[in-house]
A and B are shown apart, each in its own frame.
Chain A
């Protein structure tokens, strides 16, 4: 009850005209950086940071966190419309969002994504409100073995769910791991797999790989098929926005499950990216529509979006309560906290009650503001699909080139991006799955680091992965998820020997 009272007090701080104005400005800027690939929430937050020095800390954090919400929402827009994920965490949204938009339903796809994202964020904030102290303890229980177990769980829930040939999946996954290993190895500090090219020391950024594999690769597939987007009706269809939102409760189970996965992955610092992949994988496996995933299923949008935002929101908690930034954006924000004269960490909840509860209240209000603004923009973004393909294709190429360059001001990245485009086309054409490749690039090196640190702790004994209840549960759950499809396959083969050959599945 004490929390509830503090929250109500927080609302009196957050819901004032100047603060609401700041939220609108923050959200709009956030949507802009989210939509543009290459620019992300960290860019926006670091740009606004100097402007906040003269502000009250509460106002400053409200502006920055609103920008963060806007960027989270904006990242999904290009994923759905052009198959270019603006942020790592919106990759899984492309799997069903893009086919749906291509099918002539961009409004539905965007509205579904934003609606479920808002739900996920809301669950995340409620979790922060009531479980702040408990959650902080869970995060503290996490060491290298637990980290590895969480990543293992994410891989296990995702690998083997696509319809691709198993060996091709294995090759794609291994290539992803190898790409993730390029650059400086964080455990030993030595440089790996640079093949004598100095610029590769910084590693291959995820953004570069994804913009090539998904953006350029998809573009090549599209011209080959003489693609033209299904005619989108020219008038702004507001009713469709509300119809899509009204259909969300039909996916109630998916919403709740994905929110739970998202919160769990946000607190255990698995992060939004792992959360969205895992949620998609589990939804595909357990949904009654699972077989149609990848062709534009609404549930295939609901699952990753809800988990992404639930994780993104609950990931702010470790920053506030422990002083551990969960992401690049959180790290910049934490820098801000210190500049404003606040000390992130357990004492913040005691010393700076107004600040903490003002922020938490602003998360509720800020998300409502964000979802309202972003829904208003849906028809504008959906209208982009009406631009003729001949015009939009070179613009997508330019966006990918600029995006790849701006990641670290490197021309080599642009060339690499184009190379990834060819690989993406080739892989798609020959049914090599791209999703395991991307997943391995994103969390492969983190999983490897965690594994090796765990091995250092245990002096080489694998027993450390069964040392306590938490890590044992995680590892066993991962193994179960990994072996489940195999077992199901065997059962199916024993029953009907010829049914599996007839299945037509989209490779993702």
Chain B
């Protein structure tokens, strides 16, 4: 279970870190006014400061349990968390293996795994959908619009 308080704090910390990174890297570009007009780092610097200040405020509100969502105590229940992971983890694995086995194999495997393993669809239907997906991608992207999708290290090893 994840409490709303923890989630608020996590979000505020994340945006705060992003703000700090923006501020720090904007120093490289110069801040203020020079012979070339407003320096390139000025706007990122200002937005970074705003992000940091806003995040601090949100952090305080979240930690004290105030703000618009104060009545909601629990943000994510365990069963909700399981369902979230059920969607996100396979998707993340799918993205992770693309550089190795390529878009076509990865998408076929992903569709098959997501449909057949939890027994959401019959194995035959899952196989058909898993085969049709990369085929459709190939025809539309590679053939019709000549956008090359990643073929992966595996295909490169076989000389494609």
Contacts and interface: CB of A to CB of B under 8 A. Distances in A.
Chains A and B come from one and the same complex: yes
Interface of A: 32-33, 36, 38-39, 43-44, 47, 164-165, 167-168, 170-171, 174-175, 177-178, 181, 185, 187-188, 190, 192-195, 216, 219-220, 223-224, 226, 388, 390-391, 393-395, 397-398, 401-402, 405-406, 409, 411, 414-415, 418, 421-423, 425-427, 429-432, 448, 451-453, 455-456, 460
A411 B11 contact: no
**Which 4 pairs across A and B sit closest by C-beta, in order of nearness?**
A171-B54, A456-B37, A390-B120, A174-B50
Interface in B76-99: 76, 80, 83-84, 86-88, 90-92, 94-95, 98-99
A110 B54 CA distance: 39
Contacts of A165: 67-68
Nearest to B57: A167
22 contacts: A36-B140, A167-B58, A170-B50, A171-B15, A175-B47, A178-B47, A181-B43, A188-B36, A193-B22, A219-B87, A224-B84, A391-B115, A405-B103, A406-B141, A406-B147, A411-B98, A411-B150, A422-B88, A427-B11, A429-B7, A453-B37, A455-B37
Interface residues of B, number: 71
Contacts of B44: 178, 181, 192-193
Contact of A185 (B10, B19, B29, B61): B29
B64 interface: no
Contact of B38 (A178, A398, A455): A455
Looking at A170, A171, A220, A414, the one whose CB has the most chain B CB atoms below 10 A away is A171
Given A174-B50, A178-B44, A43 B145 contact: yes
A398 B40 contact: no
A192 B40 CA distance: 8
A415 B47 CA distance: 25
Contacts of A453: 37
A452 B54 CA distance: 25
B146 A192 contact: no
B76 A224 contact: yes
A430 B22 contact: no
Nearest to A225: B80
A43 B148 CA distance: 13
Nearest to A170: B54
A455 B129 CA distance: 57
A188 B18 contact: no
B78 to A, nearest CB: 12
B115 A178 contact: no
A47 B146 contact: yes
Nearest to B55: A171
A177 B47 contact: yes
Given A192-B29, A401-B95, A429-B7, A175 B18 contact: yes
Contacts of A32: 140
B40 A418 contact: no
Contacts, number: 179
Given A47-B146, A174-B54, A402-B141, A429 B15 contact: no
A503 to B, nearest CB: 11
Contacts of B29: 185, 188, 190, 192
A452 B38 contact: yes
A357 B76 CA distance: 60
Contact of A178 (B8, B48, B69, B86): B48
Contact of A402 (B38, B103, B111): B103
A190 B40 contact: yes
B127 interface: no
| Residue in A394, A406, A429, A452 with the greatest tally of chain B CB atoms within 10 Å | A394
B97 to A, nearest CB: 12
A460 B99 CA distance: 49
B40 A171 contact: no
A175 B92 contact: no
B99 A411 contact: yes
A84 B75 CA distance: 25
Given A175-B18, A188-B40, A426 B11 contact: yes
Contacts of A39: 141, 145, 147
B155 interface: no
A219 B92 CA distance: 14
Interface in B45-59: 47-48, 50-51, 54-55, 57-58
Contact of B129 (A216, A391, A431): A391
Given A165-B68, A193-B44, A398-B133, A220 B36 contact: no
Interface string B132-146: 010001001100111
Given A192-B26, A405-B103, A452-B38, A47 B7 contact: no
A190 B11 CA distance: 31
Nearest to B130: A394
Contacts of A226: 83
Contacts of A426: 7, 10-11, 14
B145 A223 contact: no
Contacts of A425: 84
B47 A174 contact: yes
B123 interface: no
A33 B147 CA distance: 12
A275 B29 CA distance: 32
Contacts of B38: 451-452, 455-456
B57 A394 contact: no
A188 B110 CA distance: 44
B121 interface: yes
A7 to B, nearest CB: 35
A394 B115 contact: yes
Nearest to A184: B40
Nearest to B76: A224
B141 A195 contact: no
Contacts of B43: 177, 181, 448
- From A44, A223, A226, residue with most partner B Cβ within 10 Å: A223
A216 B90 CA distance: 13
Nearest to B48: A178
Contacts of A448: 43
